[in-house]
Amino acid sequence: MDRAERAKQFMAFSPLRGYYDLIRQKQKVVVERKTLTSDTAEELSFKFNQIKIGEIIEVVYFCKDEYVKCCGMVSKVDLIEKTLTIVKTKIKLDSIIELYGKNLKELDE
């Protein structure tokens, strides 16, 4: 028996391929997108104007029927495409609901 044939004997066998992915999709709770109040939108705009490339921030945004929290270094702010890129994650500005950062000041401060 050659090496390739022998290796096939020890390969992992999964009779239910894709089953666990289907189960995880069924468990996902779909959340409706929140609408921002004018005060919250103003607060986000104020914080967004303080963001600098290379700064570590935390963002909560809406993506595919759920809210996602992303933390990392800002690598790009694109006002033309209206996106914020944290490391390699591109986030649309209109999907952001919360911004946190060490150097980000609150509107009322």
Domain ranges, residue 54: 31-109
Q: What average pLDDT does the segment 55-67 reach?
A: 90
Give strand pairing partners of 73.
Answer: 56
Q: How far apart are CA 6 and CA 102, in angstroms?
A: 56
Q: Report pTM.
A: 0.68
Provide mean pLDDT across the span 57-78.
91
Give the per-residue pLDDT at 71: 92
87 Cβ partners below 8 Å, 6+ apart?
72, 73, 75
* Number of domains within the chain: 1
**CATH assignment of the domain containing 38:** 2.30.30.520
Q: Does residue 16 lie in a domain region?
A: no
In a domain, residue 9? The reply is no
55, part of any domain: yes
Using a pLDDT cut of 70, give the percent of the chain over it.
Answer: 89
In a domain, 101, yes or no: yes
